[in-house]
Amino acid sequence: MKVVGLIIALLAGSLLVYATADFPPLGDPNSPASVHVSPRYIEKTMEETDVPNIVTSVLADYRGYDTMFETTVIFCAGVACFLLLRVYRREEPQERLYRHVLTGVTIHVKAGKLPPSPDFERIDSAWTPHDLIIKTICRLLIPFIQLFALYVIAHGHHSPGGGFQGGVMLGASVIVLAMSQDLRTAVRRLREKADALMCATGVFIYAGTGALCLLLGSNFLDYSALAPVLHVDPIMARSHGIFMVEVGVGVAVMGVMIWIYNNVSSMGKYDEGL
């Protein structure tokens, strides 16, 4: 079976390499993309979408189908990671480690028993030295990271940014919390079910925006159809439609990043992370 799979992979790879012979040379100024496609976007973006950031208008409007399926692929990656790694029935460890908050003394407590006093906090078995500076600085920085991430999503029309970049920063802020504190702290802030719901909600927002355009009698992801609903002209409706799908992308990317990290770092157990 492995031999058959290897043969199929080699044949498919050979066909792809052979097809590259028809590609224009790299950086050719006379290629179709440079002669016809790029000038069209550069000249018409402001006129048709009222979005100064050409990259955002191309990704979320002119080639909105492609970006929607990119978001779907990210969601599928999170689902695959969950299905492969998530463990529900696991053997409980024989003992857990607890550290005294004030003195740093570490004790071993048998599984199922509580620490001797509330002054003890649970730590992972792969214990690393307690660093108050790192924990404090990360807790102070995380709200600013999240605020900047929201700015990147909201301002992606007019400056570098958008849903993918903002979503990555939002996800990274929660991952920073998990790495500086512990995985259990991060999961308490964002539960597994809420995280999974965010992943699906992001894709739903994107696809739902396109479906709304269909219901309003236009083409899928033709945001100009939203003009009567948003009480703006068709050009501004396209700008608002781009923002709507960017929000969906940001929500999906954030959720999937956290979902994958939680499962990979804890081997699907959600008990102890990196």
Digit-coded pLDDT (tens) for 215-267: 998 999 999 999 999 999 999 999 999 999 999 999 999 999 999 999 998 88
Q: Does one domain contain both 112 and 190?
A: no
CB 252 within 8 A of CB 74: yes
Dihedral, 80, 85, 88, 93 alpha carbons, nearest 10 = -170
Say if 17 falls within a structural domain: no
**pLDDT score of 121:** 79
Q: Is the pLDDT of residue 186 over 70?
A: yes
**pLDDT score of 105:** 77
Q: Does one domain contain both 147 and 254?
A: yes
Q: Does one domain contain both 125 and 148?
A: no
Q: Does one domain contain both 115 and 142?
A: no
**pLDDT score of 243:** 93
Weakest mean pLDDT among 194-198, 229-233, 266-270: 266-270
Q: Does one domain contain both 120 and 61?
A: no
Buried b (16+ CB within 10 A) or exposed e, 209-230: bbebbeeeebeebbbbbbbeee
Q: Does one domain contain both 179 and 86?
A: yes
**pLDDT score of 205:** 95
Q: How confident is the model at residue 176 (pLDDT cuts 50, 70, 90)?
A: very high
Q: Does one domain contain both 103 and 210?
A: no
* Residue range of the domain that includes 125: 93-130
DSSP-derived secondary structure letter, 30: T
Q: Is the pLDDT of residue 139 over 70?
A: yes
Q: Does one domain contain both 218 and 188?
A: yes
Digit-coded pLDDT (tens) for 30-43: 877 777 888 888 88
Mean pLDDT (the chain, rounded):
87
Q: Does one domain contain both 159 and 189?
A: yes
> At residue 197, what is the residue type?
L
Say if 117 falls within a structural domain: yes
Q: How confident is the model at residue 79 (pLDDT cuts 50, 70, 90)?
A: very high
Tell me the percentage of the chain whose pLDDT exceeds 70.
96
Q: Does one domain contain both 112 and 177?
A: no
Name the more confident of 272 and 78: 78
Say if 3 falls within a structural domain: no
Q: What is the pTM assigned to this prediction?
A: 0.84
Give the residue-averaged pLDDT of 41-53.
Answer: 88
Q: Is the pLDDT of residue 44 over 90?
A: no
